[in-house]
Structure 1
Amino acid sequence: MRIWAVIVAAVLALAGPGMAVTGPESAPVYVMRHLDTPEGQRDPDLTERGQKGRRALAEWFQGKPLSVIYVSNFRRTRQTISALNGERQIRLRLYDPADTPALVARVKAETGPVLIVGHSNTVPDIVEQLGGERPAALTHPDFGDVWTIDGRTTRRDRLTY
């Protein structure tokens, strides 16, 4: 086992600060709830504030590699990533928000950084099942947080918009 630790350390040292070494243990997974929507509608569009948040999300991801984005088949999740994806043309994958274990299995099989855009009732489970610290339950006004899970830590950032 020690030889593998030496090999991994050597690869990381050779990669340098400008190169990413990806894999299930090193590639971050970003999890967020879709951006602002009106309350009480089944499949609403983003509000005007949510539309502004799309640009903030694209700016937040500047300089961060991203291989794939998982979205549910709701307008609000696809609209949330439209500015980011419009700039970068990242692969989109649909997932069933009622099947978090299947989503987590798919994400764990990815080899690069992943963004998951979920919902208030799915984000805490997704973060926890990916090995992160479970966030508190989300309420309707809880928009604009991004959890980063990198295998060692969970960090929560708030988009400014």
Structure 2
Amino acid sequence: MRLSIKALLVFFIVLASCAPETETTTYYLIRHAEKDRSDSLNRNPNLTEAGLKRAENWAKYFSNIELDDVYSTNYNRTIQTAQPTAKSKNLEIKSYNPRNLFDSIFQAETKGKTVLVVGHSNTTPALANRIFAANMSVAEKPIYKNMDDRDNASLYILSFQKGGFGKKKVSAKVVKVQD
């Protein structure tokens, strides 16, 4: 009887050690900080002083979060929002095309990583929706609407953990991060 219990114990220890490791992918999605609206014809404005301050505050917010990559669209306002965080993490800003949201290349590059993605009032919620569509069934996915054009404080946090034996854990929330 003792031998059987020991054999069972060894069996379960070996089985547990053979379980596949979990892999977590986390996306932090933000809209660029406050942009200069003084020239309505300028399609690529810089950040205002308030926007530059918010960009620094985002860097403080992310100071205790390990990021593997920082992504930005190729616009002054998104790059300027991403720069303080990327600099504080010694990361290069990777450019992405908002028209190709969450394509197979982006999915492969971000799998198992924690990334910050800086976008726009229409592309940030669209990216959240695409991420959910790729990771969940249609019935479970939340539908995020376009952000208000003056909303520079919303942070979408989407986390997907794929564990052993096909288990998946999903976490999603939108929070307002004030200065």
TM-score over 0.5 for the alignment?
yes
CA RMSD of aligned residues (A): 2.2
Per residue, is there more helix in 1 or in 2?
A: 2
Counterpart of 1:142 in structure 2 is 151
Provide the rounded CA distance (Å) in 1 between the counterparts of 2:117 and 2:87. Answer: 17
Q: Is the CA contact (8 Å cut-off) linking 1:46 and 1:76 kept in structure 2?
A: yes
Counterpart of 2:19 in structure 1 is 7
Provide the rounded CA distance (Å) in 2 between the counterparts of 1:108 and 1:96. Answer: 13
Tell whether 2:142 aligns with 1:133.
yes
Q: Is the CA contact (8 Å cut-off) linking 2:126 and 2:146 kept in structure 1?
A: no
Cα displacement string for residues 86-110 of structure 1 (whole angstroms, at most 9, x for unaligned residues): 21111321111122142xx334222
Counterpart of 1:76 in structure 2 is 77
Larger Rg computed on CA atoms: 2
Q: Is the CA contact (8 Å cut-off) linking 1:53 and 1:159 kept in structure 2?
A: no
Provide the rounded CA distance (Å) in 1 between the counterparts of 2:43 and 2:17. Answer: 50
Tell whether 2:36 aligns with 1:38.
yes
What is the CA distance between 1:68 and its match in structure 2?
0.6
Amino acid at match of 1:29: Y
Counterpart of 2:50 in structure 1 is 49
Match of 1:139, SS?
Answer: coil
Match of 2:53, SS?
Answer: helix
Cα displacement string for residues 111-143 of structure 1 (whole angstroms, at most 9, x for unaligned residues): 310111111121111001111633222121111
Amino acid at match of 2:145: A
CA spacing shift, 1:6–1:138, aligned 2, 3 Å: same
Percent identical among aligned pairs is: 22
Counterpart of 1:14 in structure 2 is none
CA spacing shift, 1:31–1:5, aligned 2, 3 Å: farther
Counterpart of 1:154 in structure 2 is 172
Q: Is the CA contact (8 Å cut-off) linking 1:28 and 1:150 kept in structure 2?
A: yes
TM-score under structure 2 length normalisation: 0.71
What is the CA distance between 1:7 and its match in structure 2?
1.8
Q: Is the CA contact (8 Å cut-off) linking 1:56 and 1:159 kept in structure 2?
A: no
Counterpart of 1:15 in structure 2 is none
Q: Is the CA contact (8 Å cut-off) linking 1:133 and 1:154 kept in structure 2?
A: no
Aligned residues: 143
What is the CA distance between 1:77 and its match in structure 2?
0.7
What is the CA distance between 1:43 and its match in structure 2?
0.4
CA spacing shift, 1:137–1:5, aligned 2, 3 Å: farther
Cα displacement string for residues 49-84 of structure 1 (whole angstroms, at most 9, x for unaligned residues): 111101210111121110011111101111001111
Provide the rounded CA distance (Å) in 2 between the counterparts of 1:4 and 1:59. Answer: 39
Counterpart of 2:105 in structure 1 is 106
Q: Is the CA contact (8 Å cut-off) linking 1:27 and 1:113 kept in structure 2?
A: yes
What is the CA distance between 1:4 and its match in structure 2?
8.0
What runs of 5+ residues in structure 1 fail to find an aligned partner? 12-20
Could you list the structure 1 runs, at least 4 aligned residues long, displaced by more than 2 angstroms after superposition: 3-6, 38-41, 105-108, 132-136
